[in-house]
Structure formats: C-alpha cells, structure tokens
Chain A
Amino acid sequence: MLLRHTPKEIIERSALTINPAKTCQPIGAMYAALGVHRCLPHSHGSQGCCAYHRSALTRHYADPIMASTSSFTEGASVFGGQANLLESINNVFALYDPEIIAVNTTCLSEVIGDDITQILNKAAAENKIPHGKSVMYASTPSFKGSHVTGYENMLSAIVQNFAKSSGKRHNKITILPSFVEPSDMSEIKYIAEELGAAYIMYPDTSDVVNGPLDGKFRMYPKGGTPKALIEESGDSEYAIALGQTGTLSAAKLLDSKFKVKTKIIDLPIGISATDAFVDTLRKIAGVSVPEQLVRERGQLVDVLCDKNQYIYGKKVSLSGDPDILIGLTQFCKDAGMKILHVLSGTPSGGKFVKRIKEIAGGDVIVKEGAQADLFYFHQLIKNDKPDLILGNTYCKYIARDMDIPLIRTGFPIYDRVGHSYFPITGYRGGLHLLIKMLDAFMDRQDRDAPEEQFELVM
C-alpha cells in the first residue's frame, strides 16, 4: 500500500513537500484564460510546462485543452525569450487565429527576467498583432503561491487589459467567480438569470471545457465570455466577486481603476453562502427572489431535515483550495457535522485560518501554505479519524489506507466524472453535494451493519 510510508507521529519538516496539496501558478492562469471566448492560453517557458498543464487539465475535464508554448531552448535561457515569444505570436495568429493570446510566464521566464510588457510592445510596433486582436499577459511565477494565485493573476490581468470605461454606467452586474468547475459557473449564471439580474460574468469556462460530442474538434468551443462583454465591465455600477483568494486583485482593480462598487463574498456553496449571493444580487439588481429559487432552497432544506440523523454529528476532514474550502466548511457546519481538519496547500494567510475557525469552531485544525501537504493531512487523519473526507483525487490513497469514504471536490479530479456537469454551488449544487454525502454515509452503513441489524431502511 502506497501510504504505509506515512508515520503517525508528526515531525516538523523544514525543506520538503511530500504529496503536494497544490500545484503551480501557470495552470490556474491557463484555466482562467480558457474562460474568455476565442482566447488561446500561451505558456512562456519550456514546452514541458505547457504539456503538463494541458495534460492535467485534459485529465480533469476530459475535454481537449488548447494552449501554445514558447518552446524555450538553451539559447532562450541565455539570451532571453523575446525571440521565442515574438515568433510564437506570429505563428499563433497565422495558424490558430485566436481573438486573444493570453500569455502566462513560468518559473524559467521569470528567473531569466523576460520583460513581457516590452516584448508585447515590440510585437505591436512590428505589426505582429493583427488588427482587432490582442495579446495580454499575466506574471505567474511557479515559485510563488499556487494554481489559485495563477488564476487570480490571470483574472486580474484580464480586467487590466480589457475592462474599459465609457463614462456611462449600465446596470449589468459584473460577477467574478473564483477557480471553480464549469458546472459551477453555469449554476452561478443560472441564479443570476432566475433572479432576472442583468450581469456580465468572467471567466466562464462552461461550454469550453465541458462541451458536447458533436463530431467536430474545435480549437475554440462556443463558450467563454466575449471580449466585448468584458470591456463593458468597467462601466458596471456593481461587481460581485465570489471567493476572495481567486478574485481579490481583480475585484480591487475594478474598484480602483473604474470605481465599480465591488463586493467580495464567499462562493455560493451551501445554504448560507448561496443565500448571501442571492441576497446581494437581489439588493443590487432591485429584484425579488423568484419562486423557482425559493423552491430549490426549500428542497435542499427539506432533504437536509429529512435525513438529518444520517449526517448530524459526523466528522469530516477537508482539503482543497481556500475559496471552496470556506464554502464546504460552512455547508458541513450547517448540516451539523463536526469539522476536524481543513488544509490548503495554497498560501492563504491568517485571514483564511481565522475565517475557518469562526465557521467551524476553535477545535478545528487549519493548515495552509508551507508544509500543508497531503502527507501532513494523512498524519492528521491518522491521529483523529473522520467519517468523511472531502478533497481531490489524490486523497484516495488516504481514504483507502484509512477506510474512510471520500467525496471528490476541488482540483484535480482525475478519476471520476460528473464534476464538470453537476455543480456544488447554488441550492441545486447543495442538494447534489448533500446527496453524495448521504450516499457515502448510507452505503457505508449498509456495508458495515452486522447481520442482525441490517434492514431495508437503515
């Protein structure tokens, strides 16, 4: 068994990450860029980076993931990557014809010190960028933050490059979601639509990375927020950012650069966070909550109440990305569960720790940033065993070793499908997640009950 290597005793490690609970910035940047229509992410570094990011995203979404690379060579690392990037821009527009090229840097190009702004200016000066097309970039050094930071940086770069102010405000609310599934992006749009609130949302990876089989391979699927809409977001009266870690800098930029009144709230995962999202939208848009959303909320509460006995008091350990963890922790708490451990490899600071403690209570062990890896998570679980784990695919080793059910949430999920089609956000997503939890607990009960206690309804 793979994880027999994990000792129960926790020893401080100073220089080492074992079984990471995060990955590097560029992949998050690539994902955010895919949420813009006809945008081709471009990795400015060795070709391995691009291959790894594309492979990882392909495994997770089971859809083709397109991105180009500067294909650094020994020469580029000595003389800088300018020639590679200029040639890339030429080739990409000539062959792949995107609307936008979204360049992300890598550890290599950051350490070499490539000045991307200067290179892009040169490209523009040399007429390498066809009329009406754009090249933008985000600085995403792999040695800082995590994939969530990369997402945040790309999102903020999208605001920086495309949002415009015409001087005239409109009533469309700009919604900025954190790093979530395409299904969640759809659900967030659905809620806004049900409310009848006018909105602009980006990035939006729905219909990009969860497209249908229709007999064609498309470089640019139909989804993604069009550039024209993003431009309009500078004129929004209000913006709502969902999930602080993934959206903070973009939200701040909308506020400072365009004076858009910006609210940062939690991702709408679970009842209370979805309530908060609906309420915020309702107030800003000046609309009332429609019957349909009230009904969905009622159904979620109904199931929670019907099956309370199966979930109340159950112990849960969570690992994943900060914004999703806050939502999940709140949801578990609302369901009456006891939260033992919350761990995120993404450095998310004292605020995150404080927030989780507020929600879950003082006993919870929260770990983020350095040494917050799945090796440590396993050690925590060995010391205090939960009834359920919420986390990505890599938690399966722990789940198997400890014989604990695992519900796959977050990124990456390589070994199950469904996450790109069925959300965990909104009331419907809450019901979906709740049913998964109940199934996990009840299947376990059916499996483990002694013969004399095994009944039709347990």
Chain B
Amino acid sequence: MAEVLEARRHQVLEKGRDDYILECGKASTAGSVSQRACVFCGSRVVLYPIADALHLIHGPIGCAAYTWDIRGSLSSGPELHRMSFSTDLRENDVIYGGEKKLYRALTELITGYKPKAAFVYCTCIIGLIGDDVEAICSRVSREQRIQVIPVHSEGFKGTKKDGYKAACEAAFKLTGKDSGSPVSPFSINILGEFNLAGETWIIKDYYRRMGIEVTSCLTGDGRVDEIGKAHRAKLNVVQCSGSMTNLAKMMQAQYGIPFIRVSYFGIEDMTQALYDVADFFEDADITARTQKLVKDEVSALLPRLAEYRKDLEGKKAAVYVGGSFKAFSMVKALRHLGMETVVVGSQTGSAEDYEYLKEITNRGTIICDDTNPLELSGFVLEKAADLLIGGVKERPIAYKMGIGFCDHNHERKEALAGYEGMFNFAKEIHASVTSPVWKYSPARIKAQAAQRRKSQ
C-alpha cells in the first residue's frame, strides 16, 4: 500500500488484509498535510444557514474572510447570513482585550440590521486574551431584547466534530421559545440538512407530498422563529452522521422528541428515510402517499439512470468526504451506477462507522480516516480509480492525476439529495468520467495502452 505515516498506521486499512479496528477521532498527526479543518469551521458550517440571524465572528480577520459566502446555503428569504461580519481584532485588542469592540460591534449591527437572533463565534485567541464573551452577549441580549448566543468554537479545542457540538449547543438555545402557534400532529424537524444547493427544498417537498409538516429545518434555509417551535414537532429526522446528532439527543432529553438517523443520498437511503418517517407516524394515509411517492419517483428515475450506467459500468471510484454517513450512501449510490468503490474515507467517522464501511465494501477496498493528499493520491493510483469524490482541496489532485472528480462537499452547485439529486449525481459523474478531455491525459493514455496490451 502507498506510504503512510507511522503514527497513522491504524487510521488506514485494507479490507481482507488488515483486521484491526480503525483508529479515529484523533487530532491530526502534527506535521501532516491534513485535509481537516477546526472547531470554528464545524460550528460555522452548521449554524451559517440560519438566514435571519446575525453571524458575528469575533477574532482577527482571517476566520471571517475565509468563510465569507464560500459555502452554498441558499435562502428563500432573508440573506443576512451571507454578509461577513467580524470584530477584526488588531494588536491593541489582543493586548487590552476585545470586549469593548465586541459590545460596540454587536450593538451597531443589531441596531442596524434588526436580526432575529445573533451568534458570536469565538475564534482561537478569544479564550487566551480573556474576553468574557458570555457576559457581553447577555448584556447585549438584555439591552436589545434578542437572543445573543456565544458559540464556543475556538479552533484548537478539538476537531471539526467538537465544532458541531458547540453549534448544537448554540442552536439548542433557540428552541423551546414558541409554544403558541399551531403544529401538526404529523410534524418533524429536519436536522443536519444545510441547503447547499437547494436540497432542503427537494426534501421538504417529499415530506409535504407525504402529508407531513416540516416544523423547522436545522439549519438549511433556516429561520429563528421556526426553530423556536421545533420542540413541539413529533420527530427529529437527523441527516449527516456527525453534525447534529448531539442536538437531537439534547432535544430528546429536554422535550422527549425521538429521533431517527437518515441519509438523503442515493435511491435506497432516500427511500429508507421516507419509509422510516412514515412508519413512525403509523398512519395509513401517510404510508399510502409515501408508497406512491417512492413508486413515482423511482420509476421515473431508473430509466434515466440506465442511460448513464451504460458508460459507467465497471469504473472504479475513490470517496473521501467529511461525514461517514455520506460515505455509506456514496458506496451504495455508486453501486447503482455500476461502479465499485475502491477507496473510501472520511474526516470525522467513528469506529463503528468504519466497521460498517468494511461490511458494505468489497475485499481490497482501502478504508481510511483523516487522510492527506500524498496518501490519497497513492491509494487512488494503487487502486486505479477513475473518479474521486471529495471536496475543494481534493479536486485539483484528481485532475492532476487525470481522473474524474465530483464535489460532494460544500462547493457542489447541483442538488445531490433525493431522487432528483441521484440523477444529478449520475449526470455529474458521467460528465466528469466520460469527458473527452481525458483522451489528452497522459495517465489515461498510458492506462489505455496497458489495457490494449493486456487484451491482445
């Protein structure tokens, strides 16, 4: 296998050859070219889509600059979330503290924009310079009569997963506010769906057709007031393995709302999600409507997919994504297109997740946690993948090696969830893998020549 740092040896395994349990949840080995981000990043991506809230980043300018409108999070209404607000701390603030600046910034912003709530993200140095962010937030909260919520997302305090947790704690504070407005007996909250490219709207439409009310979505196309009544929905439906399970657990403990985990990617997982929700309500009408929906969608989708499958059959894919739940779905969805997953990894998977990946993949598949470009390119080469599925930092690596790429991360511009999303996924993969440009790629030319020699 391609070279792996000694300290990371147990974060990579090949199915059928290695029998240890994959190590994970570790901080990246110091010195590795990690593809992972930090606590702040985790918090920011989870809360960001709440469109009518103010998002103020407390720290030096970088953290605000790098996260300004870089990730899709479509809103059907307000777009305050897409502005970049920062206290832009300078040397003097680092010496004398940033509290006054924070207070003034919050006051100016809340007076000017009248948001429904405000989040203050603490970045690395806030704890170190001793700012009492809690105190400032509660003071402004009192004065302005809106919730001002500190998010404890200092970058070094752990991994992106810890950032999700901090975000869940912050989001939880918005719940339980509205006990008056009507909520349907057949109601759910969607958790862990962020409307990167309009997916929330696709999913909401399915639930609507099933006769189920979506009380709130956390946080795709999110609104503060909707989250305020989320505690009265009957079920939490959690997508995305890492990010919002914590919130679901908190809401279960506090409000007694049960939750289920789902994935909206790929035909099986999408269908399973809808049936799981329908089963929960034990209502004949809902079940009937769900069956009809699935039948209509799947029978419309399959012939469209077959067109793409013709060309994709037998191709190999490498998958490196943020959450492991997504990785599960990818493996299954790729299989639907006739493709085999030969490398699969995630930034934040748990030991059980990787065991499950072992179950659903073929012998010889490389499974890895928190990989780096050198490793990843080694795995891709070794397993002769035709496609890499990943995020922004992986894209040019795939292209340099002369293989196809699909962004299944936050820079995707096509909705990839739901049945429609499965079609878009197939279309995008097909376009990349079968692109005529590869006939000019030296790697492909070599591979094809080898293939010809073999067949002669």
Residues of A within 8 A of B (CB): 1-2, 5, 7, 13-20, 22-24, 26-27, 42, 45-56, 58-59, 62-74, 76-77, 83-85, 87-92, 94-96, 106-108, 111-112, 141-144, 146, 211, 213-219, 345, 370, 375, 394, 414
Contacts and interface: CB of A to CB of B under 8 A. Distances in A.
B156 interface: yes
20 contacts: A15-B103, A15-B108, A16-B86, A16-B87, A24-B65, A47-B37, A48-B39, A48-B40, A62-B395, A69-B34, A72-B155, A95-B5, A95-B31, A143-B94, A144-B91, A213-B441, A214-B400, A215-B444, A218-B400, A345-B61
Contact of A217 (B101, B124, B400, B444): B400
Contacts of A67: 33
B80 interface: yes
Contact of B66 (A23, A72, A112, A211): A23
Contacts of B91: 141, 143-144
Contact of A215 (B30, B373, B395, B401): B401
A169 B86 CA distance: 49
Contacts of B29: 71, 87, 91
Interface string B149-179: 0000001111000000000000000000000
A46 B59 CA distance: 14
Interface in B78-115: 79-80, 82-91, 93-94, 100-105, 108-109, 112-113
Contact of B86 (A17, A53, A107): A17
A5 B55 CA distance: 14
Contacts of A108: 124-125, 128, 155-156
Nearest to A44: B30
B27 interface: yes
B156 A76 contact: yes
Nearest to B82: A2
A215 B41 contact: no
A430 B89 CA distance: 38
A88 to B, nearest CB: 3
B417 interface: no
Contacts of A142: 60-62
Contacts of A211: 400
B53 to A, nearest CB: 14
Contacts of B35: 51
A68 B90 contact: no
A52 B66 contact: yes
A17 B444 contact: no
Contacts, number: 254
Nearest to A113: B128
Q: Which 7 A-B pairs have the closest CB atoms?
A: A48-B38, A215-B443, A24-B62, A88-B31, A91-B31, A46-B155, A23-B65
Given A19-B68, A211-B400, A394-B68, A51 B34 contact: yes
A405 B283 CA distance: 56
A19 B83 contact: yes
Nearest to A69: B34
A7 B38 CA distance: 34
B64 interface: yes
Given A17-B85, A19-B83, A215-B400, 4 more contacts: A14-B104, A55-B66, A71-B28, A108-B155
B32 interface: yes
B396 A64 contact: yes
Contacts of B124: 45-46, 77, 106-108, 111
Contacts of A76: 156
Contacts of A94: 5-6
A24 B36 contact: no
Nearest to A66: B33
A74 B33 contact: no
B179 to A, nearest CB: 32
B83 A47 contact: no
A162 B254 CA distance: 61
B155 A63 contact: no
Nearest to A45: B124
A156 to B, nearest CB: 19
Contacts of A90: 31
Nearest to A76: B156
A90 B41 CA distance: 27
Contact of A51 (B3, B41, B123, B127): B41
Nearest to B376: A217
A387 B313 CA distance: 53
A143 B89 contact: yes
Q: Which of B61, B156, B393, B395 has the most CB of A within 10 A?
A: B156
Nearest to A93: B31
B377 interface: yes
